[in-house]
Structure 1
Amino acid sequence: MSDSRPGVADLLGVLAYAELTAFLRLAEEAARHAPTLTDRAALGDLAAAEYAHFRLLRDRLASLGVDPEEAMAPFVDALDGWHERTTPNDWLEALVKAYVGTGIALDFYREAAAHVDAETRSLVEEVLADEGRCQFAVDRVGAALEEDPKAAGRLALWARRMVGEALSQARRVAEARPELAVLLVSADGEDVTRMFNRLTEAHGRRMAALGLTPGP
């Protein structure tokens, strides 16, 4: 049985806008920073997957009788603000953002999806499928660090700044949307702080996969 509670509409709304902006940003960053046509095409493929995910979420909201634009609207400022404050300056920063920054955001949505109905959870898991983003970024960043190990420090600082922004925005979203915040608390009474600790731990694992040090 599907679930049309306000928290579910919020989850689908924030995820829909996240996928829409991911599509737009990946396409823009592919054109601006990708060093080769192969890299540009690869990011284009990832962008196309993000747009397909947006359409799934938009259609799901409509099927629940929720206007997709109204569901996305409360999250526009937070997500646009995060993107504006984490605009990459070059190809490597764009890759780290696509892997580390987007990854921690997707973990946030997975946490909320753990407490919704099975149909919605299945859709969210489909939308959050990796689609090759992780391996693409790890391979490119790893090769770049082999050529220039000194770049690791700069990229580690960049990732820390980006994730700090992401966690701050996630907290604001949770505080501003009580129905969504309820989905982030498990049945055993776990608080949101422990959930954010898990997000931070997952961030550390991603940094390690890139060959970067998470830092304090």
Structure 2
Amino acid sequence: MTKGPSVNPGVIDLLGLLAYAELGSFFRLAGDAVLAPTLRGKGRLAALAATEQAHHQVLHDRLEELGVDPEEAMAPFVEPLDAWQARTEPKTWLESLVKTYVADGIAGDFYRRVAELADDETRILVEGVLAETGRAEFVAETVREALAEDPVLAGRLSLWARRLVGEALGQAQAVAVQRPRLAALLGEGSDRPGTEGADATGLGDLAAVSRMFASLTDRHAARLEAMGLTA
């Protein structure tokens, strides 16, 4: 396929990154559904996995509409995202749920912030893909119920959540730095009034990336509180 001349390369990177992330979420949620201790949990997680697969297909189709090979667009993100998944392999089903809520929540905030700097069609598409599907409520309720039965779990899960935040932010920064086109999209946003624009060295782009990531922890405390955990 040949990419249309008007397509921002940073947008292609964003869509490719999100498409692979959604595919990974499908597999994780499907695996969590298998391990769920109740039929209710199995059904809820299976439904959420199906939604992630549908989101992946929407992004896959959009890349094809733009004249881009979806597999080529996703390829640069396979190794870093797979490596991150391996580094944050949960030991228990509850740890897996916390990972889904915390790490996917931060990643979703990142995708939304980048999409805000893209064209309106891309922004609307990304917002639709990331629209809440009931996953947060299910995870928060399940973790709270587990803590009510065994309060000792709170300390371990809180430490796990803090580790996930650091890993997620570090991985997202690494991906942005390794993909200058994605960092450039953020740099373009930094040209808005009151911010520093990108410069020829690319340092402005990286500064914009750093500023954005520093703000992604704003909602983390609220996520922990929803699950009954502490920061």
TM bucket by the smaller chain?
over 0.9
Alignment of 1:32-181 (within 5 A): 33-181=35-183
TM-score when normalising by structure 2: 0.88
Identity score, percent = 59
Match of 2:204 in 1: none
**Structure 1 unaligned regions, length at least 5:** none
Distance apart, 1:198 and its partner CA: 1.4
Runs of at least 4 residues off by over 3 Å: none
**Is the CA contact 1:18–1:79 (under 8 Å) kept in the aligned structure 2?**
yes
Instruction: Tell me the equivalent position of 2:20.
Output: 17
Give, in whole Å, the separation in 1 of the partners of 2:209 and 2:230.
26
Cα contact 2:158–2:230 (8 A) shared by 1: yes
Q: Which amino acid aligns with 2:54?
A: A
In structure 2, the residue matched to 1:200 is: 217
Amino acid at match of 1:22: S
| Separation (CA, whole Å) in 1 of partners of 2:88 and 2:227 | 18
Counterpart of 1:29? 32
Post-superposition shift, 1:8?
Answer: 0.4
How far the C-alpha of 1:205 sits from its partner, in A, is 1.8
Residue matched to 2:201: none
If asked which structure has higher relative contact order (CA below 8 Å, sep 6+), I would say 1
| 113-122 vs 200-209, which moves further | 200-209
Aligned letter for 2:27? L
How many positions carry a matched residue from both structures?
212
Query: 1 CA distance for matches of 2:58 and 2:222?
Result: 29
Query: Residue by residue, what CA displacement relative to the aligned partner does 1:85-110 show, whole Å, maximum 9, x if unpaired?
Result: 12222121111011111111111111
Residue pair 1:113, 1:183 contacting (<8 A) in 2 also? no
